[in-house]
Structure 1
């Protein structure tokens, strides 16, 4: 009589154990591969975010009035006045109550409005006064040369020095970039103050988020002031942090601000 074929209980248990081992190894392999892919993706995102943040700051700083760039005592905030336009004057304001001066028009028939700065070396542009390098708000119209730059509201002003290149700049109100917690903020529309980055707005639109996920207290600015022989140099560094894994990416950058006195 032929015996019936089949598996013994021991063979069945061994197969189940082997399948469990293979499944465990496969799951671990897939899990590690997935974790590695996520880690690489996170690093790439932090690197890209670092490039974007650095480029945002660099582009704005390159358009700053060199003699207006300054930091607070801790180096966590950078403040500057953005240049809106630049041209050459034909004559600086004269007379007892000077309220205008003649200048070369902007190219392309452009016009500009803001504060006029002439040769800000040796003076603090954040301390308005007459005489001084920073004027009240003024308007630079379009038209044929020469055009007349007029101080707004009938204001008068004398500049404390002349530019060797007869150069003047039209600048906007101060702008600041500061870190608060894990966020990087850009501040505007808060006026001119003697202390760097003071009186800053606490909400939108005066305060705008530039970036997030910065490591606490990681942002630091350093400014090398301009001179007649070289432009200003702004250096900054910060750290981006992944809150889940704790991994960090350090970013550092230097920006040269070209200058024509």
Structure 2
């Protein structure tokens, strides 16, 4: 009688199959992981770029609304400050002490303290009490024609309209504007990169002749993980505009994104 042998796999064959499956799995994981990691890297860089771009856009928006010649930077270049003026108009003035055709009405007097004056055209909004009226701002330093120092900055009182500005107290502006321009300043704003890697926007504080970093006021977080921060400002002149150069780098999880932006700013008061 013939004995039938049972069919099956030997231990060696099983070990070989397991090793082959392990090699194929390792290769497959490596092939699949590479595009997954690449996609995660792209998404992480996109988030970093978006955070840096949003911070730059916010700073640029305030810079474009800044009172001409009110922008200043800290000594280390890690803070930039400005007076935000959301609107401006033309006041009724005089020519050599005689009312002009544009000066029929409540004329702004530069020879004595004045409590109110008319505007030649309506403002886009009614000035609020507590805002400031600024005439002929020439610099962000010193004590003359400097709104930070306050010699050409008067507090707006109640009862103002789109065509008339009432001051909280009579005020004498030191210099008339050649274009009869008056700016309505809303607030002082400072952007500062702190040592902990946070970029913050400070507001709600009183203007001061000397720049204080950080100022005493409210603050809002703009970005975290800031590894490089530089603010520079070059004042313009009669033939060219001012220039603000902003450099910002954000680093997270070993990835860094750097942005450089230049903002051209009018400087005619």
Q: TM-score range by the shorter chain?
A: 0.7 to 0.9
Counterpart residue number, 1:126? 148
Counterpart residue number, 1:174? 188
Specify which of 135, 138, 155 is matched with residue 154 of structure 2: 135
Counterpart residue number, 1:195? 210
Contact 1:66–1:225 at 8 Å: present in 2 too? Answer: no
- The Cα shift of 1:252 comes to 0.8
Counterpart residue number, 1:57? 59
Give the TM-score, by structure 1 length: 0.85
CA deviation vs aligned residue, 1:63-112 (integer Å, no higher than 9, x gap): 1112111111111111111113211111232554422223224246x311
Unaligned runs of 5+ in 2: 94-107, 140-144
- The Cα shift of 1:149 comes to 2.2
Counterpart residue number, 2:99? none
1:94–1:239 CA distance, 2 compared to 1 (3 A):
closer
Contact 1:219–1:237 at 8 Å: present in 2 too? Answer: yes
Counterpart residue number, 1:224? 234
The answer to which of 85-94 and 55-64 deviates more is 85-94
How many residue pairs get aligned? The number is 245
Q: In structure 1, how many angstroms separate the alpha carbons of the residues matched to 2:266 and 2:75?
A: 24
Counterpart residue number, 2:261? 253
CA deviation vs aligned residue, 1:19-53 (integer Å, no higher than 9, x gap): 11111222233333322221111011111222211
Q: In structure 2, how many angstroms separate the alpha carbons of the residues matched to 1:89 and 1:125?
A: 18
What SS does the aligned partner of 1:237 have?
Answer: strand
What SS does the aligned partner of 1:67 have?
Answer: coil
> For 1:81-160, what aligned pairs fall within 5 Å after superposition?
81-91=83-93, 92-94=108-110, 96-107=112-123, 110-113=125-128, 114-121=131-138, 123-129=145-151, 133-138=152-157, 141-142=160-161, 147-152=163-168, 155-160=169-174
Contact 2:52–2:223 at 8 Å: present in 1 too? Answer: no
CA deviation vs aligned residue, 1:115-135 (integer Å, no higher than 9, x gap): 111111253221123xxx222
Q: In structure 1, how many angstroms separate the alpha carbons of the residues matched to 2:260 and 2:174?
A: 38
What SS does the aligned partner of 2:178 have?
Answer: coil
- The Cα shift of 1:231 comes to 2.3
1:228–1:6 CA distance, 2 compared to 1 (3 A):
same
